Amino acid sequence: MALLDETDIHNKLKNFSGWNYSDKQIQKEFKLKDFSSALDFVNRIGKDAEAMNHHPDIFIHSYNKVKIIISTHSESGVTDKDFYLAKKIDDHNK
Amino acid sequence: MALLDETDIHNKLKNFSGWNYSDKQIQKEFKLKDFSSALDFVNRIGKDAEAMNHHPDIFIHSYNKVKIIISTHSESGVTDKDFYLAKKIDDHNK
């Protein structure tokens, strides 16, 4: 999977809401109804992560917030695989 | 639940392995077998958190690592409730 350059990344981000690029990663914070909903959301993400063998960092915090951080470690940056996972994650939060 | 002072906290920490106190919180990092095991561990913690109505911050990162951060927000610091949850979490990782 080819590494994307910053121009590519910012262009792709235009198709996403709430995702930001920084420090060679894309990230987004979600606010759920409560802790239990946050955990359910994380489990749905976990299933996708396992299916794709692509594992984001997941920070469950402040009771009902979930921050997701995605990058492609093997490429030391952002690839299309990261945007594919981001799309899947957004779909779980519709 | 009464706020513990730093002497109390450090004395209580002697009965725990791997937990550290800083910034009005206690925290510990766990390394699991893989991402799936990390998520299982987080779900077990989640059940305790719901049962106690006491919700830690949980950071699943680097594929198989889980960092737990606990404090009592209503008291702006650490109470016995935090140590009770920490003990439960350690029991899940035995």
| A35-53 confidence digits (pLDDT tens) | 999 999 999 999 999 999 9
Q: How many Å lie between the alpha carbon of B47 and the closest alpha carbon of chain A?
A: 9
Q: What is the CATH number of the domain that holds B27?
A: 3.30.1360.20
Residues B70-91 have pLDDT tens digits of 999 999 999 999 999 999 999 9
Query: How far is it, in rounded angstroms, from Cα A65 to Cα A70?
Result: 17
Token pair of B15 as six digits: 């009965």
What predicted TM-score, i.e. pTM, was given to this entire model? 0.96
- What is the bridge-based pairing of β-strands A25-31 and B57-61? unpaired
**Overall number of domains in chain B:** 1
Report the alpha-carbon distance of residue B68 to residue B53 in Å, rounded. Answer: 16
Alpha-carbon torsion (B10, B13, B18, B19), positive or negative: negative
Query: Contact B55/A46, CB-based, under 8 Å?
Result: no
In a domain, A52, yes or no: yes
Residues of the domain holding B88: 6-92
Residue A86 domain-assigned?
yes
Cα A35 from Cα B54, distance rounded (Å): 10
Q: Does B74 touch chain A (CB under 8 A)?
A: no
Give ipTM to 2 decimals. Answer: 0.96
| Structural domain includes residue A1 | no
Residue whose C-alpha is closest to residue B38's, from A33, A52, A72, A55 = A55
Q: Report how far residue A62's alpha carbon sits from residue A64's, in angstroms, rounded to the nearest whole number.
A: 6
Confirm whether B1 is domain-assigned: no
Does the distance separating the beta carbons of A57 and B57 come in below 8 Å? no
Residue A32 lies in a domain: yes
